[in-house]
């Protein structure tokens, strides 16, 4: 037996042996990727005559059954292995942010919705489900989670993130990575590819892929923290760099970032995979390198291991450079070694093919998945306002439901869901990086009135939902199902964007005779020209559109109780909604269980407990606004310099980070800190009592913050240190303990070294970053310098 075929040896030993046997042509195959389309895949696979490293599975999205998807993988894998002189299987990769792109697969709430749940245990379960389903179809690389930090609601991809806070993103992202990577299905193990390394959402103007100028402290302390946590705590195996240039270098070709920071400092030892088209962008878009081949060499030398989705820079000319010695072949060997190690770790040499028939179905489907998805949808919902109108009684006589979202279940599915990516096939104009328009390129576009957004209110888009989620109710259908004795009248009212008021009068007539009004609000978080936000779909207006605010004002004159349910990828922000609506429920994009989850909250069958994972700006002029701003800045700037507010708007946000209401009340008491003076290598034990003082069961998210009272550099006004979602029955109380490592306070000192500084720290516990109920102080008794990869990231939390 060849050494590399011995499964008893380590992936490193097997990879080293196989690498020594490969020709230059075979090595170049391993750093490249195939992108099969419906019309070209057989010819394309045949062209990979020396094997291939990766296969994109994006167009599995078009296949109509699970069995077709698995068969597609088996056929391509067989052809790849037959063409490879050493029968090396390909890694098949697929997105995983909101679930697989496979018929009958799960669809998850958007990242920002799951960030609103503040529930790492649940996030790990979601990662396990996605991993199991993709592995059963032979897909071993999951392109998720998104570990970006967002501070700008203009950017269309805000919904993909866990929010603005690096501690929350570190905990949630690490949990998802563990869920993806910890199990085994059909002899295979999946590897998570976190994205988009690094600082992607700090782009100028909130524009997708634009240049980023990010100081080193901000880059490492904030944008780097979730990635470091995933590497340290979850053994993250994959990284996808962002499209942007950071401080003058495209990330994809930056040796400083991909080797110096990512590998040498952070300790990452997995595969670095290019985002689609990113290597070509270095030359064609960012104008770096004298040729696309030189740009390709720069990327590989920087630490990029695989070019996706098509060959641009890792090309035949680059192969010649390695052959002639113009480029050092050890650069190529290093990349191939990493690719091969991953393949051996994944188990695809022994188990290269998707499951078949009964084994496939028994593995892919699990009845428990539905319960997990419902919990994810429920926990993502945030009650932002309630003057007592919610929950409403089932005995209500007549309800008016207004808004285009109410009759369209596709509003539950945000960007990077299977439904959204299939809608992109019918988009006239493309905005997804590295991709072309769908099957309707050149077709005249029907737009939402007064906008350049393509209307999705056509037959082909409805067919997407019928194919993928035929049993998914829209909100209107779920309300009628849940309230059979209530008259529920619907009126379109207004679209997702623009200033079309032509349907308002008709909707107002519907409202006049109703006892309660439910308005669905927001835009379309999705893909390409059919969306008002999404990848490459950015905006300068972060508030509700004119048509929706106009209706709210007009409807308020009728004196009816009014509830707003908001669906979108950025949070609701509206002076009009705040003023006139009696209740506001932030629903984000809750996916396939969305209708049931929303109705359960409206009726009080479930008590909402979600909290905002980001600070909500009043308007675009406040951006960036975030709770953990430096001392003397943002809404604390007026304490010493200038006025407390803008001349036309407060400095304070519309809603604070961590905010969310409940149908019950909670009491915080009994703060106890066991060790109020600790060394840098010790941990602080913090306990408190949480009591449900209301009449309903409910969840509260206890939030632990710390403030460095005085430091040697400018520090944030406060930082999240830990959190715990706690469920309590009426009158029930529980003790919550946090174990916070002193090294969580570490920061980059004046010499850019990670320092745990001695001094006094204020410990704060509350229900949001602004609603603090318990405070005390602790001291770190001496200073120490630590390895950044070994510091604390999020306090351990225990319900006692």
**What's the average model confidence in pLDDT over 397-414?**
97
Would you say residue 443 has pLDDT above 90? no
Q: How large is the average pLDDT for residues 536-549? A: 97
Nearest C-alpha neighbor of 797 from the set 85, 30, 121: 121
Rounded CA-CA distance 465/239 in Å is 32
For the stretch 338-395, pLDDT in tens is 999 999 999 999 999 999 999 999 999 999 999 999 999 999 999 999 999 999 999 9
pLDDT digits (tens, 9 = 90+) for 694-735: 999 999 999 999 999 999 999 999 999 999 999 999 999 999
pLDDT at 279 (0 to 100):
97
Question: Would strands 516-521 and 562-566 be described as parallel, antiparallel, or unpaired?
Answer: parallel
What is the dihedral sign for C-alpha 481, 484, 488, 490? Answer: positive
> Would you tell me the crossing angle of helices 120-136 and 357-364 to the nearest 10 degrees?
170
- Which structure tokens are listed for 30? 């391993």
Q: What is the DSSP letter of 446?
A: P
Provide mean pLDDT across the span 63-80.
96
Burial 308-319 (b: 16+ CB within 10 A, else e): bbbbbbbbeebb
On the question of pLDDT at 439 being above 70, the answer is: no
Least confident of 5-14, 307-316, 435-444: 435-444
Q: What is the pLDDT of residues 299-352, one digit of tens each?
A: 999 999 999 999 999 999 999 999 999 999 999 999 999 999 999 999 999 999
**In this predicted structure, what is the pLDDT of residue 265?**
98
Residue 49 banded pLDDT, cuts 50, 70, 90: confident
For the four alpha carbons of 606, 612, 617 and 623, in that order, the dihedral sign comes to: negative
**pLDDT value of position 429:** 85
Q: Helix or strand or coil: residue 577?
A: helix
Digit-coded pLDDT (tens) for 633-670: 999 997 777 888 999 999 999 999 999 999 999 999 99
Q: Output the pLDDT for position 606.
A: 98
Over residues 491-497, the mean pLDDT reads: 97
Query: Is residue 658 within 8 Å of 700, Cβ to Cβ?
Result: no
Question: For position 560, what pLDDT does the model report?
Answer: 98
Measured CA to CA, the distance from residue 152 to residue 169 in angstroms comes to 16
Which pLDDT tens digit goes with each residue over 466-478? 999 999 999 999 9
Q: How confident is the model at residue 440 (pLDDT cuts 50, 70, 90)?
A: low
- Residue 180 confidence (pLDDT): 98
Angle at CA of residue 351, ends 348 and 354, nearest 5°: 100
Choice among 273-282, 397-406, 446-455 with the minimum mean pLDDT: 446-455
29, pLDDT greater than 80: yes
Query: In terms of Cα–Cα distance, which of 251, 246, 293, 250 is closest to 272?
Result: 251
Residue 459 has pLDDT above 60, yes or no: yes
**pLDDT tens digits for range 245-271:** 999 999 999 999 999 999 999 999 999
Q: If you search the block for the tokens 């060849």, which residue do you land on?
A: 2
Q: What is the pLDDT of residue 167?
A: 98
Calculate Rg over the CA atoms of the chain: 26
pLDDT tops 90 at residue 742: yes
Tell me: pLDDT of 631 over 80: yes
**The predicted structure's pLDDT at residue 657:** 98
Are residues 405 and 418 in contact, defined by beta-carbon separation less than 8 angstroms?
no
Q: What's the CA gap between 230 and 147, in Å, rounded?
A: 9
pLDDT digits (tens, 9 = 90+) for 129-169: 999 999 999 999 999 999 999 999 999 999 999 999 999 99
Q: What is the mean pLDDT of the chain?
A: 96
d(CA 130, CA 512): 46
Tokens linked to 346: 């994944």
Average confidence (pLDDT) over 736-743? 98
CA 197 to chain CA centroid, Å, is: 13
Q: pLDDT at position 689, please?
A: 98
What six digits make up the tokens of 538? 């950015």
Give the per-residue pLDDT at 26: 97
* Mean local confidence (pLDDT), 439-449: 73
- Position 642 scores a pLDDT of 83
pLDDT tens figures, 479-493: 999 999 999 999 999
Q: Percent of the chain at pLDDT above 70?
A: 98
Residue 232 has pLDDT above 70, yes or no: yes
Share of the chain above pLDDT 90, in %: 93
- pLDDT per position as a tens digit, 669-686: 999 999 999 999 999 999
């Amino acid at each position: 037996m060849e050494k590399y075929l011995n499964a008893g040896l380590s992936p490193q030993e097997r990879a080293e042996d196989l690498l020594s046997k490969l020709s230059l042509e075979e090595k170049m195959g391993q750093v490249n990727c195939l992108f099969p389309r419906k019309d070209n895949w057989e010819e394309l696979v045949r062209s990979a005559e020396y094997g291939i490293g990766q296969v994109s599975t994006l167009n599995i999205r078009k296949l109509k059954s699970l069995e077709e998807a698995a068969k597609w993988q088996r056929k391509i894998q067989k052809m790849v292995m037959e063409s490879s002189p050493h029968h090396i299987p390909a890694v098949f990769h697929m997105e995983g942010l909101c679930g697989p792109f496979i018929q009958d697969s799960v669809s998850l709430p958007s990242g920002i919705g799951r960030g609103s749940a503040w529930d790492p245990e649940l996030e790990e379960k979601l990662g396990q489900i996605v991993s199991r389903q993709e592995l059963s179809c032979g897909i071993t690389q999951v392109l998720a989670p998104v570990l970006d930090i967002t501070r700008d609601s203009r950017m269309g991809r805000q919904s993909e993130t866990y929010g603005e806070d690096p501690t929350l993103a570190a905990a949630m992202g690490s949990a998802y990575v563990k869920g993806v990577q910890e199990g085994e299905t059909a002899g295979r193990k999946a590897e998570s590819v976190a994205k988009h390394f690094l600082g992607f959402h700090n782009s100028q103007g909130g524009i997708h892929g634009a240049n980023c100028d990010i100081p080193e402290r901000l880059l490492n302390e904030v944008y780097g923290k979730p990635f470091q946590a995933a590497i340290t705590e979850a053994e993250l195996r994959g990284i996808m760099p962002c499209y942007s240039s950071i401080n003058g270098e495209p990330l994809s070709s930056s040796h400083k970032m991909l080797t110096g920071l990512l590998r040498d400092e952070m300790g990452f030892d997995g595969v670095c995979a290019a985002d689609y088209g990113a290597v070509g962008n270095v030359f064609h878009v960012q104008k770096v390198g004298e040729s696309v081949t030189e740009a390709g060499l720069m990327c590989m030398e920087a630490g990029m291991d695989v070019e996706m989705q098509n060959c641009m820079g890792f090309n035949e000319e680059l192969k010649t450079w390695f052959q002639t010695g113009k480029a050092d072949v050890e650069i190529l060997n290093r990349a191939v070694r990493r690719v091969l190690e991953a393949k051996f770790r994944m188990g695809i040499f022994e188990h290269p093919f998707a499951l078949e028939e009964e084994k496939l179905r028994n593995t892919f489907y699990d009845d428990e998945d539905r319960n997990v998805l419902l919990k994810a949808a429920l926990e993502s919902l945030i009650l932002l306002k309630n003057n007592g109108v919610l929950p409403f009684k089932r005995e209500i006589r007549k309800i008016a439901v207004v808004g285009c979202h109410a009759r369209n279940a596709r509003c539950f599915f945000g960007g990077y869901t299977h439904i959204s990516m299939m809608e992109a096939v019918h988009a006239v104009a493309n905005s997804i990086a590295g991709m072309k328009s769908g099957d309707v390129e050149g077709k005249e576009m029907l737009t939402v009135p007064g906008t350049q957004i393509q209307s999705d209110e056509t037959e082909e888009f409805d067919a997407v939902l019928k194919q993928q989620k035929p049993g998914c109710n829209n909100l209107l259908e779920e309300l009628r199902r849940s309230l059979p004795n209530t008259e529920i009248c619907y009126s379109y009212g207004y679209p997702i964007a623009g200033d079309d008021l032509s349907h308002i009068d008709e909707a107002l007539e519907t409202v006049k005779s109703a006892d309660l009004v439910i308005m669905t609000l927001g835009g379309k978080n999705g893909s390409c020209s059919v969306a008002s936000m999404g990848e490459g779909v950015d905006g300068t207006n972060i508030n509700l559109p004119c048509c929706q605010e106009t209706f709210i004002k007009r409807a308020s004159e009728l004196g009816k109780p009014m509830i707003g349910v908001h669906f979108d990828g950025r949070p609701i922000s509206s002076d009009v909604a705040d003023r006139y609506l009696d209740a506001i429920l932030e629903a984000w994009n809750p996916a396939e269980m969305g209708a049931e989850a929303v109705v359960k909250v409206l009726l009080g069958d479930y008590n909402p407990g979600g909290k905002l994972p980001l600070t909500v700006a009043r308007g675009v002029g406040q951006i960036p606004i975030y709770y953990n701003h430096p001392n003397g800045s943002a809404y604390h700037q007026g304490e010493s310099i200038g006025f407390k507010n803008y001349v036309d708007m407060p400095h304070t946000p519309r809603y604070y980070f961590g905010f969310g209401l409940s149908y019950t009340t909670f009491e915080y008491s009994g703060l106890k800190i066991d060790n109020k003076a600790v060394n840098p290598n010790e941990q602080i034990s913090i306990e408190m009592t949480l009591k449900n003082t209301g009449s309903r069961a409910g969840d509260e998210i206890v939030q632990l913050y710390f403030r460095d009272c005085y430091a040697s550099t400018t520090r944030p006004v406060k930082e999240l240190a830990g959190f715990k979602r706690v469920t309590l029955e009426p009158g029930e109380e529980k003790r919550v303990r946090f174990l916070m490592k002193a090294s969580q306070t570490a920061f980059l000192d004046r010499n850019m070294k990670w320092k745990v500084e001695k001094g006094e720290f204020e410990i704060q516990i509350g229900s949001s970053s602004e609603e603090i109920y318990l405070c005390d102080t602790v001291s770190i008794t001496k200073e120490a310098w630590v390895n950044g990869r070994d510091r604390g990231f999020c306090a351990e939390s225990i319900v006692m």
